[in-house]
Chains A and B, each alone.
Chain A
Amino acid sequence: MDQRKAIAAELPRLRRYARALQRDPGAADDLVQDCVERALSRLHLFRPGTNLRAWLFTILHNIHVNSVRGEIRAAERVVASTDGEIPIEGVTDPSQSHSLELRDLSRALDALTEEQRQVILLIGLEDMSYRDASEILGVPVGTVMSRLSRGRDRLRILTNREESQKLRRVE
């Protein structure tokens, strides 16, 4: 039962990450629901004393990548990014109450590759260590760092209106 309490304590973070990843609150909560249920059915695989948070995020990540939703989203992104435009149309706009800067960031986040976005969110939002992120995503730490670096560069360019014009001309 202690483990259940520990899982419950991770729900806010799992939901925040899922929400940032999926944007659609319903889809995000479905993802977390699946994650919780899978975690419960596999509690015997969890080694006590290890990092429960990272374990849960790993499960969530795997469900996300394997889900049809994930495939569709990924496919949409490929289509959107091959036309040389930064795909800002059709993405979910965050609440209108947000400042212009926040909306820019939100759109820029959507324009990242799925892999860059995962790293940016795990490290930038969830404060995961590089090592935890590497375990959650199942890639070497070096890969995490290069995705992070490219992702941050891209965010910086995309949120800078002048530079983003330059980028469009180059692409």
Chain B
Amino acid sequence: MSSPEKNTEQDLHAYLDGELDADSRAEIEVRLAGHPDDAEKLAGWRTHKSQLHTLFDDVLTDPVPPKMEAALARPVRRTEWRSWWRSAAAAVLLVAGVGAGWVLRGEITGPDREDFVRHAVSAHVVYVGERRHAVEVWAKEERHLVAWLSKRLKHKVKAPYLADAGFRLVGGRLIADKGAPAAQFMYEDQAKRRVTLYTRRTRDKGDPAFRFEGRKEISAFYWTGGPLAFALLGEMTREELLKLARTVSEQLKP
């Protein structure tokens, strides 16, 4: 006399986990009846399953951390971000590829300035897409930020006030520009558009005039003031950015 047919291990798991239809379940139950050892094993697994809930279900009713709620409330204009990234990446390639062309059109001379614009654009593209790590020091520590960057650049820098133009300071960071310290300030408007101001010391004197370069959505103005070179970059029209650039340069006059 043969013992009743035995369920496979896999059947038992699938049965426990609700993977089976009613017919298969019924068949398994019939076979289980003849194999108390399997029934016991199944009961053990089932106990573990319910114990897992006892261990971890507390979290379900924990209040959601404000940071998570904030992330969900923040508007992400995804299509714009996407096209922004595509064009930004293209801009970097373009600058890297035909950097000389960029500089010539801007009537700038000297390798220092050429690198300057390239670094400013790279830094803009790299950090403007960051959310949690957009800056090293946030605007709430503006005094510390400005003091720190001034110290590193060995020249007084400040974060221009652009709130009247609709842009508030996000914060800033120190950037290595060919081994020399450079600073980036980031601003954001209500629509989450970001502009960056990039600055470092330059050996090129004079030529404080604004120069403009634009590639698709990215516009950049660059100029010098005292020992520093500045670049203001953003995803906006030339006119819009120029207005901002004037405000910035006015405030940063040496």
Contact = CB atoms under 8 A, between A and B. Distances in A.
Interface residues of B, number: 39
A123 B48 contact: no
Given A41-B81, A44-B82, A106-B55, A129 B62 contact: no
A56 to B, nearest CB: 12
Interface string B38-57: 00010011001101111111
A101 B17 contact: no
Interface string B48-71: 110111111101111011011101
A102 B55 CA distance: 7
A134 B196 CA distance: 43
B10 A159 contact: no
A156 B74 CA distance: 45
Interface residues of A, number: 41
A113 to B, nearest CB: 17
B48 A20 contact: no
A4 interface: yes
A94 B55 contact: yes
B105 interface: no
A15 B55 contact: no
Nearest to A7: B72
Interface in A84-133: 94, 98, 101-102, 105-106, 120-121, 123-125, 127, 129-130
A120 B52 CA distance: 9
Interface of B (DSSP majority class): helix
A130 B17 contact: yes
Given A12-B59, A32-B68, A156 B44 contact: yes
Nearest to B49: A124
A143 interface: no
Interface of B: 9-10, 13-14, 17-19, 41, 44-45, 48-49, 51-57, 59-62, 64-65, 67-69, 71-74, 76, 78-79, 81-82, 131-132
13 contacts: A8-B72, A15-B62, A16-B57, A20-B56, A36-B71, A37-B71, A40-B71, A40-B72, A44-B79, A98-B55, A123-B17, A124-B48, A125-B53
Given A41-B78, A129-B18, A152-B13, 8 more contacts: A4-B72, A7-B72, A12-B59, A33-B68, A101-B51, A105-B55, A129-B19, A130-B19
